C-alpha cells in the first residue's frame, strides 16, 4: 500500500496555508496562525504513531540507558520514547533481566512501596510531564544501577521522511483536520476527519489491523463542498 507522492513538511504547510487563505479570505496567515499550523502538523505525526488503526510499522529503535537513584522507585524516560521492547530491559552489572508487570500489581503487591533491592520488574506510569513516560521499578532500587533497554521513539517534528510512504496520505488528512480545527474552522475540519478514518479503515481491512477508533461520518454533500476548494 503506497502513497502517490512522498510528502514533505513544507509541502504540507503550503497545502494547509493555501486552504486557510481560501477559507479566511485573507492573503496570508498571521504569525500565531502559522504557529498553530506547525503545531497541528507535529501533533498529527504523533497521532499517526500512536493510532493502532494505522501504526504497524517500526518506530525508530535505539539502545538506551537510564540511571536509577537509590530509594527512588522510578526513572523518567526521554521525551520522544513511545515504547520499551519487552525482554530488553536489563541491569547488566547484576545479570538481571527485568520482567514487565502491571501498574495495578505494582501497587497492590507492595502498598507501602517499601521493598528495596535490585529491580526485577518494571511498569509504566504517568509522570509530571504529559510527554514523558515513567518507568516504575520493583523492588525500589537500593543503589544506583544502569538500566539498559531498547526503546521505540516517535519521530521528531522534522522527520516526515522517516514515515512509510503509505502513511503520508493519512498524515495529510490528520494534519489538515488538526489545523482547521485549531484555526476555528470546525465544520471544514470534519471532512478531513472522515477521510482520515476512511483511510484508516481501508488500511485495517487490507492489513488485518485492530478496529480503529473515533469513527466519525459526515454528509457527502459537506465533503464535496469543501473538497472543491482544496489545493491541488
- Rounded to 10 deg, the angle between the 186-207 and 220-227 helix axes is 110
**Low-confidence winner among 17-31, 54-68, 70-84, 188-202 (lowest mean pLDDT):** 54-68
- 38 pLDDT higher than 80: yes
Burial 128-150 (b: 16+ CB within 10 A, else e): eeeeebbbbbbbbbeeebebebb
Give per-residue pLDDT as tens, 91-111: 999 999 999 999 888 888 777
- Of residues 167 and 71, the one with the higher pLDDT is 71
Confidence of residue 232 (pLDDT cuts 50, 70, 90): very low
Sign of the alpha-carbon dihedral angle for 218, 224, 230, 232? positive
* φ, ψ at 173 (rounded to 5°): -65, -45
- 5 pLDDT higher than 90: no
Q: Assess contact for 186 and 81: CB atoms under 8 A.
A: no
What pLDDT score was predicted for residue 56?
61
DSSP string, the chain: ---SS---HHHHHHHHHHHHHHHH--SS--HHHHHHHHHHHHHHHHHHHH-TTT--S--EEEEEEEE--TT--EEEPPTTEEEE-TT--EEGGGTEEPEE--HHHHHHH-TT---EES--EEEEEE-SSTT-EEEEEESEESS--EEEEEEEE---TT-GGGS-GGGHHHHHHHHHHHHHHHTT-HHHHHHHHHHHHHHHHHHHHHHTPPPPS------HHHHHHHHTT---
- 223 pLDDT higher than 70: no
Give per-residue pLDDT as tens, 55-73: 666 567 889 999 999 999 9
Report the distance separating Cα 170 and Cα 199, nearest Å. 7
**pTM score, two decimals?**
0.57
What pLDDT score was predicted for residue 210?
40
Confidence of residue 207 (pLDDT cuts 50, 70, 90): low
Amino acid at each position: 500500500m503506497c502513497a502517490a507522492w512522498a510528502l514533505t513538511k513544507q509541502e504540507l504547510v503550503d497545502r494547509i496555508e493555501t486552504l486557510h487563505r481560501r477559507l479566511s479570505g485573507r492573503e496570508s496567515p498571521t504569525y500565531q496562525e502559522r504557529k498553530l499550523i506547525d503545531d497541528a502538523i507535529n501533533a498529527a505525526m504523533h497521532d499517526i504513531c500512536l493510532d493502532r488503526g494505522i501504526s504497524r510499522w517500526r518506530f525508530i529503535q535505539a539502545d538506551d540507558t537510564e540511571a536509577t537513584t537509590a530509594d527512588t522507585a522510578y526513572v523518567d524516560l526521554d521525551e520522544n520514547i513511545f515504547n520499551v521492547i519487552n525482554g530488553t530491559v536489563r541491569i547488566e552489572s547484576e545479570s538481571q533481566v527485568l520482567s514487565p508487570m502491571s501498574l495495578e500489581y505494582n501497587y497492590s503487591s507492595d502498598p507501602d512501596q517499601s521493598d528495596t533491592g535490585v529491580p526485577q520488574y518494571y511498569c509504566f506510569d504517568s509522570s509530571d510531564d504529559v510527554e514523558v513516560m515513567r518507568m516504575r521499578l520493583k523492588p525500589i532500587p537500593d543503589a544506583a544501577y544502569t538500566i539498559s533497554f531498547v526503546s521505540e521513539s516517535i519521530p521528531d517534528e522534522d522527520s516526515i521522511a522517516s514515515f512509510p510512504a503509505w502513511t503520508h496520505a493519512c498524515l495529510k488528512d490528520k494534519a489538515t483536520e488538526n489545523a482547521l480545527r485549531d484555526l476555528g474552522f470546525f465544520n471544514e475540519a470534519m471532512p478531513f476527519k472522515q477521510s482520515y478514518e476512511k483511510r484508516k479503515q481501508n488500511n485495517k481491512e487490507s492489513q488485518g489491523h485492530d478496529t480503529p477508533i473515533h469513527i466519525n461520518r459526515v454528509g457527502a454533500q459537506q465533503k464535496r463542498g469543501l473538497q472543491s476548494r482544496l489545493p491541488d
